[in-house]
Amino acid sequence: MSDTHDAKGAWGPNVFKTPIQGTVSYTCKQVYQYSDDNKMNWKDIPNSTYEITRSVSAAGNKIQMKIVKKSVPPSTKQETASNSLIVC
């Protein structure tokens, strides 16, 4: 999956057509990697493990999209970043 890290992210267009009650979310893990042998083998970059949670919820008659990205073990960075967007 390609992730641009914007709030809209990988949500499909149907999310704008569906009435939302409560919050819908999904979480994925991300580890940055590198290859030093022309992409034959991949190695994790130290301190580059993240958990990304994307959520969609109702904001009145509009839709609020949010992304939260935080470092998780084995990373020791203790970083968190977030972004949100209100659409429709």
- The span from the CA of 72 to the CA of 57, in Å, is 25
Question: Which residues are within 8 A (CB) of 72 and not within 5 positions of it... i.e. 6 or more apart?
Answer: 29, 49, 50, 51
Q: For the chain, what are the domain ranges?
A: 13-87
The pLDDT score that the predictor gives to residue 51 is 94
Instruction: State both tokens at 31.
Output: 């580890």
**pLDDT, position 9:** 67
Which residues of the chain have a pLDDT value below 70? 1-10
Which residues does residue 52 pair with via DSSP β-bridges, in sequence order? 28, 69
What pLDDT does residue 1 have? 45
**Would you state the pLDDT for residue 88?**
72
Residue whose structure tokens are 């967007």? 85
Note the pLDDT of residue 58. 85
> What is the model's pTM?
0.75
pLDDT of residue 68: 92
Q: What's the pLDDT at 6?
A: 65
